[in-house]
Amino acid sequence: MKIKNLSIGNQLIIGFAIMLAFVIVLGIVSNHQANKIHLQTEDIYHHPLQLRRTISNIKIDILNMR
């Protein structure tokens, strides 16, 4: 059965259903990617910040020893 043999109404329904499926898939993929970016951003923020604080505390302790 070819799409051209279907009525205009059915062709439109099929076309919109395909577009809706693409939008849903794109939404799921983008949501997943946004969550991955969020987790990576939290890792980047917390790890260097804790490391920087520790180094700063070590520098302060060394200066206090003098």
14, 23, 25, 9 alpha-carbon torsion, rounded to 10°: -10
pLDDT of residue 42: 85
pLDDT of residue 50: 72
DSSP 8-state code for residue 6? S
pTM for the whole structure: 0.60
Residues in the chain, pLDDT under 70:
1, 48-49, 66
pLDDT of residue 54: 80
Amino acid at 25: V
pLDDT of residue 40: 87
